[in-house]
Structure 1
Amino acid sequence: MTYNLRPEIKIKQDSQTWTSYDQIAEELNQQFVAGKKKITLECYPGVDLSELEQQLFSKLTDVRLVKADDYAYDAETVTKKIAANLTEDRVFGILSHATLDEFYPEYEVKQIQQELAKEQKNIVVYGTGATILLPNPDILCYADLTRWEIQKRHRAGMPNWKAANEHEDNLKKVKRGFFFEWRVADRLKQKLTDQMDYLIDTNVPNQVKMVDGESYRTALDQIVAQPFRLVPYFDASVWGGQWMKEEFNLDSEKENYGWAFDGVPEENSLCLNFSGTKIEIPAINVVHQRPISLLGKKVHARFGNDFPIRFDYLDTVGGGNLSLQVHPRVDYIQEKFGMPYTQNESYYILQASEKSTIYLGVKEGTEKAELFDELHRAEKGDYRFPDEKYINCFPVKKHDHYSIPAGTIHCGGPDTVVLEISQTPYIFTFKLWDWERLGLDGIPRPVHLVHGEANVNTDYDTAWVQDNLINPFETLYEDNEGRVEKTGLHELEFIETHRHWFKKEAKVKVHQSVNMLNLVEGEEITVESLDNSFAPFEIHYGETFIVPEAVKEYKLVNQGDPAKEVAVIQAFVRNLA
């Protein structure tokens, strides 16, 4: 298989890039010589400031360095200020609506600004919040970092911003990032994009790269005018399988891969190739900075600068069951966590065997009180929850598609590869039962029975599930060239999915929405423009890709065996007009 583990976007326009600390230092020193004495280097939380100090600032001439983080409130004060957002829960918090300046005492900011106004030396203010201390510099640099790299650094011991939590449970570090840090940092980054003179990629330790701001903004314009792929990443799980390891040519030394994040702009990155210099940026930057071209006017009007569709893989081939779980109702997630909408989802079965199953909905006559009495008993240990008494278990086969609206108890079974197609708020999974397992960290995985009991809908029982959630296929169009099927999702979910079968080619409309797609059958296709506005874009089996709404209409062309049908699953936001 030719699954591309490192897709990149070739930027057409010539650009200025710098590929080492020495080159970046030379460029900044030249700015000083040119009379631009004040430089702000704003940093996303998690950027290694000690590396910048050692590798970059030591090479600058006649400079006063000001570390912005030192002027923010201390770790204890910041943690107290966001206590309501963090909550006592190990996994879930409440979304912060704060801005970064709220964590800088006004008197400290005024004092340092008065000092800097009198400073005769060259000035570099750096760190998270640098633009709060020096908001109108001669030169604005932004040091960026992807979410996956941040999470890996947390696992290796890095604390959160303004938090003395090096040894804290990693789930709590991710929670602090998700509910607080990333929100305030993204709000600031959105404001600074049009002002940036330079963007710095700090994802690989000691291998920094930089591109000029104008080239970066031009690249954003190009991205939302063509199909593109995100850079996928893969992670182990207690239930993880072996299929992706083999089929996607992953590290054979790893015990398993349960997750593949191949279509999650909030988590994934983009690799931009500027004439040979590859700059990696968080994919969420494109969503925040070019939302209307990417999402479309109607989707943007409903979701703002938020990407509402998510694709990922769940692999249990040679592994075990997922956790038994449920997702929250919309009113619940809004009230308890400050999220605007919930994680309705679906399971598209990419691979299956005779052992493959899905747990979906409760059995007829199940009483919620009795169900949760059993789950609470199992939570205490030394008792196996009798899932066969309460939960439906259905066999699945390749190309089945199961809708899972919020409130439905569900769980993926063994020996299955699931393409999970869902609405984006991905962190809100209420585990109910985890088959007596420990997490990869040796600690029992958290269950959330209080949240679960408030959200499980026992009306979603056997008959209802069979009538509403299992393979609700409908042929929308068919001719000698191919067919288009509606495969879901349930009417309570805002995502629509169409499956395109064809041997030669298929024309596809975006339906006034950004499209997320995956080649679920076949070897290779190209995504082609109807007006030659972008070059043919190559897609291999299992690869997820995005087509911006601005493209309007495009063509899928089979590049494999012309005698065999290929299939592409297409997801978009339903137009309710």
Structure 2
Amino acid sequence: MIWRDSAQPLLPEHAATHSPDTYNRYPAHPLGNGRIQTGYTSLANWIVQHRVVVIDGYAGIFWDKICTSLKPELARMGVNVRWHNIQCCLKDSRQIQDLVAPFIGNEGDVWGTKTSLHITDFFDEEKIATVLPEGPYDLHIIYGSGAALAHPTAPVIYLDLPKNELQYRMRAGTITNFGSSVAGGSAEMYKRFYFVDWVVLNNYKQTLQQRIRIMADTQWPDHIAWAYNHDLQEGISRLAHNTFRVRPWFEAGAWGGQWLKTHINGINTEEINYAWSFEMIVPENGVLFESDGCLMEIPFEWLMYAQHTAILGNHANIFQYQFPIRFDFLDTFDGGNLSIQCHPTLEYIRAHFGETFTQDETYYIMDCKAGATVYLGFREGIDPGTFKTKLENSRDLGIPVEITDFVQQHTADKHTLFLIPNGTVHSAGADNLVLEISATPYIFTFKMYDWLRPGLDGKPRAINIDHAFHNLDFSRQGKAVKKQLVAAPRVIDNGENYQLVHLPTHAAHFYDVHRLEFSGSVDITTNGLCLVMMLVEGDAVTVTTVNGYTTTYCYAETFVIPAAAASCRITSRNAAPVKLIKAFLKSSHPVYNQIAST
């Protein structure tokens, strides 16, 4: 049976030797000796020290596998166990479908709306009240997503799963949405996960923080890694006061290219292409810890729940548990153009999709071939009605559109930053490696024209002309485009071995971008801001925080210096010249009051 659908390998159970000279796909942070346990025997040994234990967890967990792995261990110890499956207390799947329907729209809709439901809405309270740890048993185990609702004081083991592995299981049809009885199509399941399940279960996670005694990583089919929550909290605090990197993951796409294949050490080169590298899209990335060579991954939200103030500093009260900046790669080397697209305005994304802030983007050209281009802004004097008619005829009749009759095409040069505030028509052309520096929302792309090509599944990708035309800003045209939407670099500080270059973002962007160009060492301070960084030219840099925490980051690796790190020294390998991108939140912005009040 195929239990996951992906060309990407599973996370190794144990850390392998990695060359410090190359990009690391599995960046693991040391947790200390003896802090990560493995296997069901060790977990069972802890469980039997209690009379009642709750095993709660996220969507996508193979609960049958967890039970069948623990049962023989407990039986070997001669423990008489009663198992209580909290799934029996869920409302009927038809009732649940009615509950979630307002948030996921009709089948075939691309997007839904962030739910206002809570986990208790999915359960029958009277049934939960019948889950009583009584009778002639040595041990009662209440298990399943939501299990802690059935007992207010029992210690909790929380099982989690990285979002990429959840999606691989989703594609294979081996899991269901929360409260559903059967798996659906991947697109519908993802929409339900994004707008309902992840919202509900993430909110529920927060309520369990003080009760969780053990956290476990369940991404392997026959293996489990776990740690005591107090040890993880120490590790999380250490990262939040020093520096860290999330685990990246990679996806193929209709327009995907070949750059990542040739530059990322150990990546699966049999994949058809790589369109994306999720460098730091934190709703979907995890953080790796290592102890005695054993690896364990936790979803990034746990860092925010525990240490959002240390991580975000001056902006913690505004964004709370949301990490506001994302980094990802768009690889079109020897690939194709992205779709002609735009993203929703703040008002539109709030009204239609329930997000608190919108998908304002920038494209930083990390690498490109000669002749590569970026599509950005409209040509002077275009007629919106004619443009829309052409797009609709293409969608309905398969007629090609001469896009450059309407949209400007700009030469892509290395280290140029193109600005894409919401409502701006844009696309990355072929033969680029784009570092996309953006606000965190990441699925709200209104495609208007996709070059008449199918997706990797052979089917046309969704075209959303009406959504786009409710958001397009047609004033971004003509000569104003280059002036307003291409950052004009300006040196704002310099010294003997460095210069600090400001790449100004648009007024609509609530984040800004600097490029630090230096050789040898430089000292930087956070000034109460969270810094998201990437080495965009050079081999490697070493970051040493004021706390003495030292980490080496290689070319193309994204890393974070949290606000609480205060200051650090960055040293280039062999004192060679390097360029380092730094993205950070602007000190003030009109949108902050709206975000904070949501």
TM-score, normalisation: structure 2:
0.91
Task: Select which of 527, 539, 545 maps to 2:559.
Answer: 545
Matched, 1:47 2:61: yes
Aligned equivalent of 1:279, options 296, 299, 302: 296
Q: Distance in 2 between matches of 1:381 and 1:24?
A: 60
CA contact under 8 A between 1:15 and 1:211: conserved in structure 2?
no
The CA deviation at 1:471 is 2.7
Q: Distance in 2 between matches of 1:223 and 1:170?
A: 35
Aligned to 2:142: 125
1:206: how far off?
Answer: 1.0
Match of 2:30 in 1: 10
Shift of 1:117: 4.9
DSSP 3-state at the match of 2:66: helix
Amino acid at match of 1:94: T
Partner of residue 508, structure 2: 492
Write out aligned runs for 1:364-383 (5 A): 364-383=380-399
Deviates more, 1:231-240 or 1:193-202: 193-202
Question: In the TM superposition, what are the counterparts of 1:116-515 in structure 2 within 5 Å?
Answer: 116-117=133-134, 120-137=137-154, 139-157=155-173, 158-166=175-183, 168-249=184-265, 250-296=267-313, 298-515=314-531
C-alpha spacing 1:511/1:165, structure 2 compared with 1 (3 Å): farther
The residue aligned with 2:16 is none
CA contact (8 A) 2:81 2:137 kept: no
Task: Describe the SS at the equivalent of 1:427.
Answer: coil
Partner of 2:89: 71
Q: 1:107 to 1:384 in 2, by over 3 A?
A: same
The one-character-per-residue Cα deviations of 1:109-155 (angstroms, maximum 9, x if unpaired) are 2222xx33566442100011101112321x21100111111011101
Aligned to 1:110: 129
Verify the 8 A CA contact 1:220 1:286 in the aligned structure 2: yes
Which 4+ runs in 1 deviate beyond 6 A? none
Provide the rounded CA distance (Å) in 2 between the counterparts of 1:179 and 1:477.
44
Counterpart in 1 of 2:120?
101
For 1:57 and 1:372, locate their aligned partners in 2 and report how far apart those are by CA, in whole Å.
62
* Whole-angstrom CA distance in 2 between matches of 1:164 and 1:547: 43
Output one character per residue of 1:3-45: Cα deviation in whole Å (capped at 9) or x when no partner.
1111100124x5544211122122212x1xxxx2110001111
SS of aligned partner of 2:269 = coil
> Which stretches in structure 1 are left out of the alignment for 5+ residues?
none
C-alpha RMSD of the superposition: 1.5
The CA distance in 1 between the partners of 2:180 and 2:408, in whole Å, is 44
Given candidates 567, 570, 576, the residue that maps to 2:582 is: 570
Q: How far apart in 2 are the matches of 1:171 and 1:505? A: 48
Give 2:540's aligned residue: 524
Could you list the per-position Cα deviations for residues 432-471 of structure 1 after superposition, in whole angstroms to 9, with x for gaps in the alignment? 1111111112221111112111001100112221111113
SS state at 2:84 partner: strand
Question: Which amino acid letter does the alignment assign opposite residue 111 of structure 2?
Answer: F
**Matches of 2:404 and 2:136, distance apart in 1:** 73
Letter in 1 for 2:229: G
**2-structure distance, mates of 1:318, 1:165:** 40
Q: How high is the sequence identity, in percent, across the aligned residues?
A: 29
TM-score normalised over the length of structure 1: 0.95
Q: 1:403 to 1:119 in 2, by over 3 A?
A: farther
Distance in 1 (alpha carbons) for counterparts of 2:177 and 2:351? 26
Cα deviation 1:406-436 (Å, max 9, x = unaligned): 0000000010000000000111111111111
- 2-side partners of 1:326 and 1:307: how far apart? 22
1:100 corresponds to which letter in structure 2?
I
Distance in 1 (alpha carbons) for counterparts of 2:391 and 2:584:
36
The one-letter code matched in structure 1 to 2:25 is: L
1:119 and 1:445, CA in 2 relative to 1: closer, same or farther beyond 3 A? farther
Tell me the equivalent position of 1:26. 45
Q: State the AA in 2 paired with 1:50.
A: D
